[in-house]
Every structure is written in C-alpha cells, then in structure tokens.
Amino acid sequence: MTYLPPAAAYAHIKNYLKEGLSAGRWPPGTLMPSESELVTQFSVSRMTANRAVRELQAEGLVERVQGVGTFATQPYRASSTLTIRDLHDEITERGHRHRSEVHLARAEAVSETLAQRMGLPAGSEVFHTLIVHSENGVPLLCEDRYVNPARAPDYLSVDFTRTTPTNYLLTVAPLWEAQYSIEAQLPTAEEAQLLGVKPSEPCLIVVRRTESQGSPITLARLVHPGSRYTIEGSFKP
Amino acid sequence: MTYLPPAAAYAHIKNYLKEGLSAGRWPPGTLMPSESELVTQFSVSRMTANRAVRELQAEGLVERVQGVGTFATQPYRASSTLTIRDLHDEITERGHRHRSEVHLARAEAVSETLAQRMGLPAGSEVFHTLIVHSENGVPLLCEDRYVNPARAPDYLSVDFTRTTPTNYLLTVAPLWEAQYSIEAQLPTAEEAQLLGVKPSEPCLIVVRRTESQGSPITLARLVHPGSRYTIEGSFKP
DNA sequence: CAGTGGTCTAGACCACTCG
DNA sequence: GAGTGGTCTAGACCACTGT
C-alpha cells in the first residue's frame, strides 16, 4: 500500500463506513448500506463499493449475508494480530547478544500422555530438546520442546547454537497452525535452576502446539522468568 | 463467504500460491509470479489474479512492491488473531455464573505518572474503579481501571454488577486501538486479599491501554490468579 | 523503455433470501 | 420477483521501478 493518489475511492468508502461505525450510526447488528446504495452515493462502480465492504468484512467490522445484507458486528471480539516472534530476532533487534545452551537433544519414545497431547500414535519416537536462551548472558527462556520426526527428520542434527528451533521449523514446515496457552506458574525445580531464578519466582509460561496440514509438528513449553520478560503487543480493529 | 461455486477462480489461485509457499517453492524473499503471469496461467482477468495476490498480502504471506514485483515474506512473523474477550461472556459461555464486586468507583485527581501513562493533561480528573470478578463464587480477576471522563462521562453511574466496564466502554467508544502487555508477577498485598490467594501465588497480569481517534479511553490492570486462569488461543497464517 | 503493481469501470451471471 | 451479496471480465489509466 504505497500508492495513495490523494485517496483511493474504496478507501474513502471504507473511512466513511468506519467513522459511521465508530460514531454509533449502525449499532451492532443493524443493517448497513447495501453495495448499490454505496454505488450511487459515491458514484463508483460496484466492484469498488464491493472492495470497501469486503475489506471491512475481512477486518471483522461487518458481517455479510448473501441475499440479505451487510450488518455491523458486535465488536467485543476485537480481534488483534498477536505477533509471535522468534526470540533470537527479538534480542538481536534490541542490539543485544543471544546465546543458546543446549541441555538436551535426543530421540525418545513418547509417553502415553505426550502421544495424546501431540496427536501422535502411541509408541512412536519423538525428538526432544531442552534449550536455555539468554540475552547478554541473562537466561530469558527455558525451551522444552518435542518434535515430530516425520515432519523434521534432520531436527537433531541442527546446530541450535546457530539457529533456533522455531526458526528451523519454520523453514521445514512453513504455514502452520497453532494453539497456544499463556499462564503464570512457578517453574519446576529444574527450570528454576536452568534459568538461575528462585523456585518462588513467578514465570510466564507459553505452551504452544503447532501443526500443518493436519499432522503435528511440535509441542513446546516456553518458560520465561516473570521479572525479565513480558509479552507486548498492540492491536487496531 | 458462503457462496463457493465448486471453487472461485481467485481461491484457486490463492491455493496454488499458498501450497507453493508451503512446499518451499518461492523461499522467503524470492520473486513470485506476477499478476500477468497468473492471468495467462489461469486464464482469468487481471482483477481476479489481483484479488488473489492482494488477499495473500493482507494475510501477510507476500509483500508487494509497486514497479518491482511480489515477494514471499519471511514467515517468522506468524501473526495471529488474539481475541480479547469480555470475561463475562467467557464465563457465561461456560455455563457458569459471573459476579462482580465493586470495591471502588470514584473520581480522582490523576497522579503525575498516571497522567503520563494515560496521555492525559496533568491535574485532570479520572474515574477509578476496582472490581473483582468471580466465576461460580471463585475470584478470577481483579480489575483496576482508570477511565478518561471525557470519553465516558457516565462511567461512574453504570451498574457494574449488571455489565462489565469492557462491555460498557465498547458501547461508548467502539473501534479502539490498544497496547497491551502480558506478564507474570506476584500480586500486591491488596490484590492477593481481594482474590483470596496467597501473596506468593503467581499471577497473570495484563495491562491494557486503549485509545480511539488519538485520545485515551482507559488504562486497566487485570490480575488473574495463575492457578485459575490461562489465556488460550489459536492462529492460522 | 518495458514490466510491475494500484486502481477503477460498466457491464455481466449467479446464488441466496425474503415477502 | 426484487433485492442482496459473490464473482468475473476486458478493458483502461496511473505511478513506480528497473535497465
């Protein structure tokens, strides 16, 4: 979106509708102008009006029902774009030094519960890594990760002091889907020791499971010391 | 998107490009097919090819540069849609009972630091509420909130045992922008007491600042007991 | 200059929903 | 049947980038 001749017509229409929504005309659930109304009101072709409304739909501001009309949405779903970044990039972008310590990297037989959580057949093998990431020498993340060998057969041969599992897995299987949970917990004794924090230090724990095209890729438990790490973000509707 | 005649042409093209990206053709940064190439390859009009590529751009899968071409993106930005839900809806959707206890609701003069954090002029007044939300009688959230009176003059007269501040503020000022941070911390002594947890219990703390059209709306500190609450979500690229 | 993306038009056909 | 959204076309003009 670099080309903005004083203003594109579809953008005009989008603005008009957005401001109207913001101002409370068209309360949630009410009918909004139809495409043909916009066509006459703004003297544009239908494709242009359509694009404006379709983009609002993609942004979640309106709902459209074929044969019926366009409706303002209940905006409590204020969805946002949470950017999951690779910790390595985050650190180096701050101009700091990132280092990884690999404490474990091996193949294991899956336990029953793990097989279930990952969606793997019982009795199969998984790759298991335990890596501590630090920023300028300060431990920032303890990453306990299981990987589906079928999706990343060379995983164990990767040098994780040079790249991160996240980064590597993105090259092997881009375009994934993920479920995550974020919670506050005390670390396990081992995690506390690896991170160099007291066992009583609250930690921010992200559990993330990713899959691609229906088959699981990885399950990771990311433990951050609460005193050293926060997730930040912003969103616009 | 209810109407899918066997398959829309633009969707065909999107799929073709997505699968190619997923398969590793067009590694990150490389040039992708131009619109005119897609036009001949798929026998469609340029508008149709354009729509396919434009939607991929909106999804963050490609970058486009006018006069140059379309490029595959570095996918480490795996952006997602984090849905900020109203706790009341979340609880009632589980079939449980939500109750709010209002511990504080008054106007105050802003402190200097608060004025700065909210982006308000020093010396002005703000509304301040402190509400504890519980699910089936168990405290789940301690909500400490400051509100800009200019944006919600009737805020203090709202009955917060019947609606939530989030809900009310959405009706007053829809379409907002927000910055948030998520961290793990110990609660303050007051918060621990209000939530009925030990002061040593890790808490998930979300600090959210919202504004709309450049003027601040509210600043909230949401404290959840770590043992009772997790943020969950999923995303697809 | 040729090639790219950014936008727009004036039609068109279709599927769906409602009265 | 009238009105809605969903899609598509075959052109067009423009701005930008490279060589």
- Distance of C1' in D1 from CA in A13, Å: 30
User: Do A6-72 and A95-225 show the same overall fold?
Assistant: no
| CA nearest to A183 within chain B | B230
Any strand D atom closer than 7 Å to A7 CB: no
Residue B4 to chain A, least CA–CA distance (Å): 12
From chain B, pick out residues whose CB is under 8 angstroms from the CB of A76.
Answer: 85-86, 89, 166-167, 170
Question: What's residue B109's pLDDT?
Answer: 94
Residue B111 to chain A, least CA–CA distance (Å): 24
- Distance of C1' in C18 from CA in B15, Å: 35
Question: What's residue A3's pLDDT?
Answer: 39
Question: What's residue B87's pLDDT?
Answer: 86
Which residue in A79, A177, A183 is closest to B236 by CB distance?
A: A177
Compute the CA torsion angle A130, A136, A140, A146 (nearest 10 deg): -20
From chain B, pick out residues whose CB is under 8 angstroms from the CB of A48.
Answer: none
Residue B175 to chain A, least CA–CA distance (Å): 6
Question: What's residue A225's pLDDT?
Answer: 95
C-alpha distances in Å from residue A110, one per residue of A119, A187, A212, B113, B187: 11, 23, 20, 52, 37
- Distance of C1' in C14 from CA in A41, Å: 25
Which residue in A18, A174, A200 is closest to B22 by CB distance?
A: A174
Tell me which of A179, A180, A203 to substitute to probe the interface with B (most B C-beta atoms closer than 10 Å). Answer: A180
DSSP string, B55-94: HHHHTTSEEEETTTEEEEPPGGG-EEEEE---HHHHHHHT
- Report pTM: 0.76
Assess A93–B contact: CB distance below 8 Å, yes or no: no
C-alpha distances in Å from residue B165, one per residue of B87, B89, B175, B213: 10, 13, 15, 20
Give the closest residue to B152 by CA, choosing from B103, B198, B60, B218.
Answer: B218
Domain layout of chain A by residue ranges: 6-72, 95-225
B6-72 carries CATH number 1.10.10.10? yes
From chain A, pick out residues whose CB is under 8 angstroms from the CB of B174.
Answer: 21-22, 24, 75
**B236: confidence class by pLDDT, cuts 50, 70, 90:** low
**B59: confidence class by pLDDT, cuts 50, 70, 90:** confident
Two tokens at A115? 């097989």
Q: How many CB atoms lie within 10 A of CB A85?
A: 17
Question: What's residue A2's pLDDT?
Answer: 37
Question: What's residue B106's pLDDT?
Answer: 96
Assess A21–B contact: CB distance below 8 Å, yes or no: yes
A182 and B66 within 8 Å at the Cβ level: the answer is no
Average pLDDT score, chain B: 87
Q: Is A159 helix (H, G, I), strand (E, B) or coil?
A: coil
Higher pLDDT, B148 or A75: B148
Q: Is A116 helix (H, G, I), strand (E, B) or coil?
A: helix
What's the mean pLDDT in B111-120? 90
Any strand D atom closer than 7 Å to A53 CB: yes
Spell out, as residue ranges, where chain A has pLDDT lower than 70: 1-6, 74-84, 174-175, 236-237
> Which range scores top for mean pLDDT: A117-126, B66-75, B166-175?
A117-126
C-alpha distances in Å from residue A148, one per residue of A128, B16, B19, B23, B194: 9, 26, 21, 18, 44
Q: Is the pLDDT at B74 greater than 70, yes or no?
A: no
| CA nearest to A86 within chain B | B76
Domain topology for A95-225: Chorismate lyase (3.40.1410)
Which residue in A58, A81, A232 is closest to B181 by CB distance?
A: A232
Instruction: Report the first-to-last Cα separation within chain A, whole angstroms.
Output: 18
- Distance of C1' in C1 from CA in A46, Å: 35
Assess A182–B contact: CB distance below 8 Å, yes or no: yes
A77 and B85 within 8 Å at the Cβ level: the answer is yes
Location of structure tokens 């990760």 = A145
Q: How many CB atoms lie within 10 A of CB B122?
A: 11
Two tokens at B211? 């504004």
**B5: confidence class by pLDDT, cuts 50, 70, 90:** very low
B235 and A3 within 8 Å at the Cβ level: the answer is no
pLDDT tens column, B171-230: 887 667 888 889 999 999 999 999 999 999 999 999 999 888 778 999 999 999 999 998
